[in-house]
Amino acid sequence: MGTKGKIIKCKAAIAWEGNKPLSIEEVEVAPPKDHEVRIQIIATALCHSDAHILHPQFEGGFFPVILGHEAAGIVESVGPGVTNFKPGDKVIPLYAPQCGKCKFCLSPCTNFCGKLKHFKNPMGDQKLMEDGTSRFTCKGKPIYHFMGTSTFSQYTVVSDVNLAKLDDDANLERVCLLGCAFSTGYGAVINNAKVTPGSTCAIFGLGGVGLSAVMGCKASGASRIIVIDINSEKFTKAKALGATDCLNPKDLDKPIQEVIIEMTNGGVDFAFECVGGAKIMVGKVSLLFQSWLLTTRIRNWIWMHWCPIPYLLTKSMRHLT
């Protein structure tokens, strides 16, 4: 018996409150309504932005919520009015919607869909579906969506504009990283900074975003890719992806920016902050000051207000389909 039109009971990781571990619970996932799609999540990764929500100093958290926004899955069923997806399609949920019709989606200057124009922050404002209700229930209580995706659940419901279709042979366990980290880091290098061949680059932080930025710099033909992390275990993978110099600030006896300025005879051409910290940003700007002063910042809540991240994300996503 199919599940179309029925409530699906499955497991999900619920954040009941901030600063506490997630709790694996049985949830009920309602069928998709108009222009909605229900997806079986096959693979989901953990982005640091999920963890930010749980941080006690994060303002604007909402609970209980199902986090997760970096995933890939298979369409289980579609609601009325959905024409571009069908059951069985492999898909990636997108936290930055793309209606494909509004003047912003049609403009080559931005991918910041007009659907976002009423939102101050797509993370906070996509906590319910468009009709103002949730599709998740646990122990009789409605549970908030997160970033319009909520992928820490075996099944989730998203709007049909928050979804990208994949090739049938896509490996879902790998391509889930395209849902956030890869598109953010690689897109920042290629679409925003437009790193040039032969240039020198510095990348702070080697999580999913930073390692993707390393790949972008390598693909752009950068001659020197200096990576900085306080966890030296990250350097093996960074080198495999193209890093030329690895620095751990804990091992240095002077500020990191001074070290890099000396190493590069005055500073790098491009610097990428992929940690999520204001102090690092300040240090990075001083490191660039003697040269070009071109910076790319990767940190959600500031980035979202400034607009480029959805641009980067969806620009990259378009190459997928």
Ligand X SMILES: NC(=O)c1ccc[n+]([C@@H]2O[C@H](COP(=O)([O-])OP(=O)(O)OC[C@H]3O[C@@H](n4cnc5c(N)ncnc54)[C@H](O)[C@@H]3O)[C@@H](O)[C@H]2O)c1
**302 φ, ψ (degrees, to nearest 5):** -80, -45
Stretch that binds Zn ion, among 37-45, 180-188, 265-273, 308-316 (CB under 5 A): 180-188
CA distances from 200 to 26, 221, 239, 252 (A): 50, 10, 15, 21
Among 43, 99, 294, 320, binds Zn ion (CB under 5 A): 99
Between residues 152 and 204, which has the closer beta carbon with respect to ligand X?
204
Among 13, 41, 113, 287, binds Zn ion (CB under 5 A): 113
DSSP, residue by residue, 58-96: -TT--SSB-----EEEEEEEE-TT--S--TT-EEEE-SS
Between residues 155 and 272, which has the closer beta carbon with respect to ligand X?
272
The three-state secondary structure class of 124 is: helix
Q: Which does 113 bind (CB under 5 to 8 A by kind): Zn ion, ligand X, none?
A: Zn ion
Burial 140-162 (b: 16+ CB within 10 A, else e): eeebbbbbbbbbbbbbbbbbbbb
Active-site residue among 10, 35, 52, 99?
52
Q: Which does 126 bind (CB under 5 to 8 A by kind): ligand X, Zn ion, none?
A: none
Is 69 one of the catalytic residues? yes
Q: Which does 22 bind (CB under 5 to 8 A by kind): Zn ion, ligand X, none?
A: none
Between residues 139 and 318, which has the closer beta carbon with respect to ligand X?
318
By CB under 5 A, residue 46 contacts Zn ion: no
Task: Give the whole-angstrom CA distance, residue 157 versus residue 148.
Answer: 8
By CB under 5 A, residue 105 contacts Zn ion: yes
Task: Show the binding pattern over residues 123-152: x = contacts Zn ion (CB under 5 A), - = does not.
Answer: ------------------------------
Task: Give the whole-angstrom CA distance, residue 150 versus residue 136.
Answer: 10
Is 180 one of the catalytic residues? yes
Q: Residue 48: which H helix or E strand, with range? A: helix 48-54
Q: Which residue matches tokens 């990208």?
A: 164
Active-site residue among 176, 180, 217, 274?
180
Contact residues for ligand X (CB under 6 A)? Answer: 47-49, 52, 180-181, 184, 204-210, 228-231, 234, 249, 274-277, 280, 298-300, 303, 309
Task: Give the whole-angstrom CA distance, residue 214 versus residue 222.
Answer: 10
Which residues, 6+ apart, have CB-to-CB distance to 113 below 8 Å? 96, 97, 98, 99, 102, 104, 105, 161, 310, 314
Task: Give the whole-angstrom CA distance, residue 264 versus residue 266.
Answer: 6
Is 47 one of the catalytic residues? yes
Task: Tell me how far, at minimum, the Cβ of 182 lies from Zn ion, in Å.
Answer: 10
Between residues 91 and 309, which has the closer beta carbon with respect to ligand X?
309
Binding positions for Zn ion, rule: CB under 5 A: 47, 49, 99, 102, 105, 113-114, 180
As annotated, the active-site residues are: 47, 49, 52, 69, 180
